[in-house]
Amino acid sequence: MSDISIKNLSFAYEEGGKLILNDITTEINSGEFVCILGQSGCGKSTLLRLLAGLEMPTGGKITIDGEEIKGTSLKRGVVFQDYGLYPWMSAGENIMLALKQCFPSEDKNKLKEKALDMIDAVGLESEVYDKFPKELSGGMQQRCAIAQSLSTNPPILLMDEPFGALDAVTRARLQDLIKDLWDKEEEKKTVFFVTHDVDEAILLGNRILVLGQSPSHIIFDYKAKKDWELSRDNQFDDVEALKLRNELIKQINLDVKSKIK
């Protein structure tokens, strides 16, 4: 179980500062793959940071299974756009760092086996374990970051434009990887995936929230029907997907238009 409840959430970066988020209320059910769309600067990363426990609400609250978020937790894995690997450690050591933190009394060799399993699960060769981030391509680094965040099996995964810096082909491969890993899970993780790419949101999410701007609040909330199977092959033919795509673009554009005077 990892139900997230957001109630009347507001947030400003400093006391008395400009409100970034205002009156956000929503329930996210355990196992939902939620994509957050919105213009750059509208507060998507801020909302993710609040969910991660890196910032505290100015007003309202966020609870997970009834418990208020008090700080970061190993129960919430985070993947950022810039991969977030320590450059002075090998890829394997980066993954081991998370594993040792989560399982401090576990045998080191067992943990290394787990790290290697994760490297394999994200489609990388075992040699990558000893490579430093600078020796790896952006796509490989992001695969390692995903392996690191999944290695401790957190019930909630927070991803902030994780594929935003990658070329189109690598990006498509990693979208498929994340979708496959999530599809395969019996007990699905709750995923909170920030993107500004409408097609990425439609492909990955079974729930899509659009944030409006200044201050940001939810202007559109879409929940996919249970039996709606969308893939990269039918994404641009499926009538429902096309309707949804138009609606999402319309909502984002209307919001932008209302701010341009």
Residues forming contacts to ligand ADP in the complex (CB under 6 A) are: 13, 20, 38, 40-46
124 or 248: CB nearest Mg ion: 248
Q: Does 46 bind Mg ion (CB under 5 A)?
A: no
| Residue nearest Mg ion, CB atom distance | 45
Read off the DSSP letter of residue 2: -
21 or 124: CB nearest ligand ADP: 21
Min. distance of Cβ 161 from Mg ion in angstroms?
6
- For residues 62 and 68, the answer to whether their CB atoms sit within 8 Å is yes
Strands 59-64 and 67-68: antiparallel
The separation between CA 202 and the C-alpha centre of its own chain, rounded to angstroms, equals 14
The separation between CA 130 and the C-alpha centre of its own chain, rounded to angstroms, equals 27
Q: Does 195 bind Mg ion (CB under 5 A)?
A: no
For the chain, list the strands marked E by DSSP. 4-12, 19-28, 33-37, 59-64, 67-68, 76-79, 156-160, 190-194, 207-211, 218-223
45 or 175: CB nearest Mg ion: 45
Min. distance of Cβ 20 from ligand ADP in angstroms?
5
Min. distance of Cβ 232 from Mg ion in angstroms?
25
CA-based nearest residue to 31, from 143, 151, 187, 256: 187
Positive or negative: CA dihedral 80, 82, 85, 91: positive
How many residues in the chain? 261
Residue 40's binding partner, choosing from Mg ion, ligand ADP, none, with beta-carbon cut-off 5 to 8 A by kind?
Answer: ligand ADP
32 or 160: CB nearest ligand ADP: 160
Binding-site member from 39, 45, 94, 195 for Mg ion (CB under 5 A): 45
Min. distance of Cβ 85 from ligand ADP in angstroms?
21
Beta-carbon count within 10 A of 135 CB: 12
Read off the DSSP letter of residue 188: P
Positive or negative: CA dihedral 187, 80, 254, 7: positive
Q: Does 39 bind Mg ion (CB under 5 A)?
A: no
Min. distance of Cβ 44 from ligand ADP in angstroms?
4
43 or 57: CB nearest Mg ion: 43
Residues that bind Mg ion (CB under 5 A): 45
